[in-house]
Amino acid sequence: MARWSLNEDNKIPKDFSLSLSPLITQLLFSRGFKTEDEIKKFISPNYETDSNDPFLFGDMEKVVQRIDEARDKKQIVAISGDYDADGITASIMIKETLDALEVESFVYIPDKRTDGYGMNIEAVNMFKEKNVSLVVTVDCGITSFAEIEKANSLGIDVIITDHHHVPAVLPPAYAIINPHMDNSGYPFADLAGVGVAFKVVQAVYQKLLPEKIEQTKWLLDLVAIGTIADCVPLVSENRLFAKYGLTVLAKTKRVGLKELFTVGRIIINEGTLPDTKKVSFYIAPRINAAGRINHANLSYNLIMEKDVVRARDFALELEANNTERQKITEKMAEEIRIMAQNIYKDKKFIFAINEHFSMGVVGLVAGKIAQQFNKPTAVFQKCEDISKGSFRSIPQINIIETIEECRELLVEFGGHSQAAGVSVKNENLDKFYEKMNKLISEKLKGVDLSEEIKIDAEISAQDINFELAEEFEKLKPFGEGNSEPIFLISGLEVKEKRVVGNGNKHVKLFLAAKGPASTRGNDRSSTRGGIPKIFEAISFNGYEKYVDIKTGDNVDIVCNIQKDEWNGNRKVQLMLIDLKVASL
């Protein structure tokens, strides 16, 4: 059973003057905002004034000068990207920027299943054959030591743009743009790979294409997709990119994205602005599916395509890839669930490896298992000599730092605090598992690993109305680092329970507020004429979890509070997160 922990209230200064409800104000203060200026900047970010100067990066001048040199000398540039949504969107941005400069360039994205992550020696040799003089990495490169040494020996300069964990020894690149470097000079460290690439784009336009700099705003659709897909904290500049980028996405001029929406039945247009969930659950998985099942070039080609017929063909192929990805993921996840419930039941680290595991989805599956069992999880595909795998972690364990303690056993590794990838020689697999298991077990000794639900505030049912739900919209876009507020509502009675949706997976509860009636609000959830407020609370895929809940139960619930507007009707809807039957 999940533990509920309620945030402590923060004192609101007496001279606080912003026109926000006390509840919203309390939420913001509890999330670390200290001043009215900070809150103003969060609620109403300004793209023009809140975006950091790209030249705060110490190497940015070198980067722009080297790209300008490539233009002057008519050199060929290779863009070395990653195969996920972050890397693909970043690659496209750099490609379109070089096109605007009339610099000849091409994008290289490795095959996830055969090439692995980042640059490789074969790719560097291919660059030389194509007379490349400059390589720009996006969303990769910070651990490509051997590859960059090889490029240097062939007379090829390499500019790294990356956001992954910085190793103790840096590769000998011409220039490095990574906000995690101690001496990067940049004030915000949590940019996604696409965010780092966008800062390069901004710098290039400022210096080399100042008359066209307004055009960079039309790239924000890609910045939003990559930023949201990579699950970086949606605060500071990332919040700016997501907020404005979602607006641009609704107006996107990209034929490929429009066809992706049509084929995937994703409703996005100028009248229906997307939210982060549409990107996270519908757009990003489809873009990622190409690299997981076949090759990421399919997603790259789709987004770059300008012909409607060809774009439709790409979108249909991508949809088929996504369907296959879902089937493979669920099959692998079910197999590893059984292992987790038996082999790893009493262990703090889940390590699954098999020859038949698909390399394309090991990260996805590791994420599902880590979330379900609340344990750091590694899923590997065992190969002939070197096995490759992905890690997903829990907040209590910084997985990349833990992996780094085992670096002597690894061929290569890279990632973040909560997600990483490694390659290990088979002869070292047992040693690697044993050391990781020991390190994780030591770090989690005495730590309560039961699921914890952090509740932002307790709220009375009588105070919930449509206007309050509407005010929560000011906190959007929600995501990592800016989660949707979670509320505790006590003393509700289950008036009706319905099983809804295909396959009877979902549950809808109709809950009556007890206690004194309130007459505030103008939605159908309000109390009128002494009749108790009735709320609809829905739990997607919650049938098994709430199978024993019945009409007449008195319950306390933890939920999100959202507005629901349809055909002119306005009501409050509660998104059920957890529920406890209250003792009488």
| 232-288 per-position pLDDT tens digit | 999 999 999 999 999 999 999 999 999 999 999 999 998 889 999 999 999 999 999
pLDDT band at residue 584 using 50, 70 and 90 as cut-offs? low
What six digits make up the tokens of 422?
Answer: 């490694």
Q: Residues of CATH 3.10.310.30 domain(s) within the chain?
A: 343-443
Q: Give the span between the Cα atoms of 130 and 95, in whole angstroms.
A: 17
Torsion of the alpha carbons at 305, 309, 314 and 315, rounded to the nearest 10: 100
Q: What is the pLDDT of residue 30?
A: 87
d(CA 568, CA 76): 56
Q: Say how many CA atoms lie within 13 Å of 148 toward its Cβ.
A: 23
Query: Which residues are bridge partners to 539 per DSSP?
Result: 507
For the cut 50, the answer to whether the pLDDT of residue 519 exceeds it is: no
Structure tokens at 512: 């009556």
Which pLDDT score is estimated for 501? 78
pLDDT at 103 over 70: yes
pLDDT higher than 70, residue 526: no
Q: Is the pLDDT of residue 62 over 90?
A: yes
Q: How far apart are CA 276 and CA 231, in angstroms?
A: 10
- Top-level class of domain 54-250: alpha beta
How far is the C-alpha of 448 from the C-alpha of 452, rounded, in Å?
9
Q: Which residues contact 264 (CB under 8 A, 6 or more apart)?
A: 282, 283, 286, 315, 319, 322
Cβ atoms within 10 Å, residue 187:
11
For the chain, the farthest-separated pair of C-alpha atoms sits apart, in whole angstroms, at: 82
Cα separation, 105 vs 78, whole angstroms:
6
With a cut of 60, say whether residue 439 has pLDDT above it. Answer: yes
* Residue 15 clears pLDDT 90, i.e. is over it: no
- CB within 8 Å of 200: residues ≥ 6 apart: 54, 60, 63, 94, 97, 136, 161, 177
Q: Please name the helix (run of DSSP H) or strand (run of DSSP E) that holds residue 206, with its range, or none.
A: helix 193-208
| Mean pLDDT within 445-466 | 89
Question: Is pLDDT above 60 for 528?
Answer: no
- Which residues are CB-contacts of 405 (< 8 A; sequence separation ≥ 6)? 435, 439
Residue 339 has pLDDT above 50, yes or no: yes
Q: Provide the whole-model pTM.
A: 0.88
Tokens 């605060």 found at: 235
Is the bond preceding residue 179 a cis peptide, omega within 30 degrees? Answer: no
Residues of the chain with CATH 2.40.50.140: 3-7+456-581
Q: With a cut of 70, say whether residue 583 has pLDDT above it.
A: no
H helices present in 209-346, as ranges: 220-229, 236-250, 255-264, 276-278, 284-293, 297-304, 308-342
Superfamily of 3-7+456-581 according to CATH:
Nucleic acid-binding proteins (2.40.50.140)
CATH topology of domain 343-443: Diaminopimelate Epimerase; Chain A, domain 1 (3.10.310)
Amino acid found at 197: A
- For 490, residues 6+ apart whose C-beta sits below 8 A from its C-beta are 458, 556, 582
All CATH 3.90.1640.30 domain ranges in the chain, comma separated? 54-250
Q: Decide: residue 216, CB within 10 A, 0-12 exposed, 13-18 middle, 19+ buried.
A: buried
In the predicted model, is pLDDT for residue 63 greater than 60?
yes
